[in-house]
Amino acid sequence: MKKIAIVVGMNKDKDQNNLKKVVKAFSSDYRILLNTAYKASFENYNNVDFFEEEEQYCFSDAVLVLGGDGSILGAARLACIYDKPILGINLGHVGYLARAEMSDLEEIKAVLSSEFATEERSMLDIHTTDKYGNISSYHALND
């Protein structure tokens, strides 16, 4: 069974209504990986497991991001580390990266159930060294 991580953008879907719709739509066909912050709300759902944020990406086959382009840009930082495809479901106004809408859930399921093509995006991999020799690494995606 494919494992789908569902990530919700900050300050998006505060009442969890959209997340509940997505989990209900996908949990019969996929193992759903949610952040541990949602455990109290979703622990009685079938096929739902809870992980810390980075583990969601590590153990998933794909990532669904509920939010807008900012949410996708944030999710891309971890998705690129684990080489996971991401698909954004737009909960904002205009979605250049988040092209799917909540009304597209059946179509999204159809795409995920087959071999699907991905659109490769260029990302920046930045390494900096401070004056003490400490190295920091960052990943960035531009919309």
Decide if 15 is catalytic: no
Amino acid letter, 133: G
Residues 66, 7 contacting (CB under 8 angstroms): yes
In the set 69, 83, 104, 125, the catalytic residue is 69
Provide φ and ψ at 20, rounded to 5°: -60, -40
Of 74, 88, 79, 60, residue with least CA distance to 4: 60
- Residues annotated as catalytic (active site), given as ranges: 69
